[in-house]
Structure 1
Amino acid sequence: MGAGKTTVGQLVAGALGVPFADTDTVIEQRIGKTVQEMFVDDGEQAFRALEREVVAEHLAGHDGVLSLGGGAVLDPGTQTLLEPHRVVFLRVGLAEAVKRVGLGVGRPLLLGNVRSRVKVLLDERAPIYEGLARFIVDTDGRAPEDVAAEVVAALAALEETP
């Protein structure tokens, strides 16, 4: 959350000349409401089930850059589906994440004390992200264009590795 997944993903896709998809956007288009509204109306469990479905569909059929919602990788089935893919973890520190997400408006998992909620989420998720990632790119204090350039370079290096 706040790492720049969508912005950087779009820049990487543009640099590589491939399509870009964001699973949260796909979900919103499919259900006709925001992720936040789905959390309120249907609950997190219903959202996670739909998220699992959308991620699986896109991992199987999307030939480009795919941005996943921050909680998507909590699902063990999704973790398994991600294993053969070139997963990039855009790492963001606590202070930077809090600054970027502001008061958490539109982010249902940040209700209450934003800083403490972001810390809990980072502590819970970072080991999973790191375990799935082919490489990690730090985003703190960096322009999205610089982060995207590092991702493109790392992807190119993966292609060159036998």
Structure 2
Amino acid sequence: MTPRAVLVGPPGAGKSTVGALLAERLGVGYRDTDADIVEVAGKPIAEIFIDEGEPHFRELERQAVRAAVAEHAGVLSLGGGAIMDDSTRALLRGLPVVFLDVALADAVKRVGLDAPRPLLAVNPRQRWRELMAARRPLYTEVASAVVSTGGRTPEDVAEAVLDALEPGRAAGEDPRAARRKEEA
């Protein structure tokens, strides 16, 4: 069992919103590893960072990604920093991974940089740029496709992800119908 799609990208890329839309269009379940971590820890991610520190959070994240990849056959969204771990990147090799690429201005519009995001707490715009400089090569390393979110609605991004995952699919075609055609 492997996920139908794995979404990666920075904060504000729309992984959760697009992931839920994509899962609906594919007729599969949706899972977010950040939500898994919150459920296991019993507290928000920001509190995990404050109470136990980033290394503890990253270990929880590694475990959450490993479990989700092994157990989930639908659409999976990873936290923005999950790809920093070598073992996570190795685990993603060969999977249908899509990097949702977003510009800083769009990320700010979508989530604001005053949200409780521990790595963006001080000088969030500068820190976001630094994170992207470090992470962009890793996002592209694991991705089988890159979809830019700039100027697109979540529905448009979900459609672009479907196109990237299923080349030759007619735009707007229900992927379940396309699979039934192929199986006939």
The two structures share one fold, judged by TM-score above 0.5: yes
Q: Give the C-alpha shift of residue 96 in structure 1.
A: 1.7
1:26 to 36, 40, 45: 36
Q: TM-score, normalised by structure 2?
A: 0.83
RMSD between superposed Cα atoms in Å? 1.5
Matched residue type, 1:157: P
Q: 1:64 and 1:19 mapped to 2: Cα distance?
A: 5
> Secondary structure, in 3 states, of the residue corresponding to 2:125?
helix
Contact 1:94 1:122 in 2 (8 A): no
Q: Give the C-alpha shift of residue 111 in structure 1.
A: 1.1
1:137 to 117, 140, 147: 147
Q: 1:103 and 1:66 mapped to 2: Cα distance?
A: 24
Compare 21-30 and 148-157 and name the one that shifted more: 148-157
Contact 2:37 2:61 in 1 (8 A): yes
Matched residue, 1:148: 158
Alignment of 1:1-162 (within 5 A): 1-157=11-167
Compare 7-16 and 94-103 and name the one that shifted more: 94-103
Matched residue type, 1:16: L
Q: Give the C-alpha shift of residue 155 in structure 1.
A: 1.4
Structure 2: give runs of 5+ residues left out of the alignment. Answer: 1-10, 170-178, 180-184
Aligned positions, number: 160
Matched residue type, 1:59: V
- Give 4+ residue runs of structure 1 displaced > 6 Å after superposition: none
Judging changes above 3 Å, is the alpha-carbon distance between structure 1 residues 158 and 26 closer, same or farther for their aligned structure 2 residues? farther
Q: 1:103 and 1:94 mapped to 2: Cα distance?
A: 10
Q: Give the C-alpha shift of residue 128 in structure 1.
A: 0.5
Judging changes above 3 Å, is the alpha-carbon distance between structure 1 residues 34 and 153 closer, same or farther for their aligned structure 2 residues? same
Deviations 1:140-161 (A, max 9, x none): 121000000111122122899x
Q: 1:136 and 1:79 mapped to 2: Cα distance?
A: 16
Higher helix residue share: 1
Structure 1: give runs of 5+ residues left out of the alignment. Answer: none
Deviations 1:49-76 (A, max 9, x none): 0100110011111111110000000000
Q: TM-score, normalised by structure 1?
A: 0.94
| Structure with larger Rg | 2
Q: 2:32 and 2:54 mapped to 1: Cα distance?
A: 18
Deviations 1:15-63 (A, max 9, x none): 0001100000011111111011111111000000010011001111111
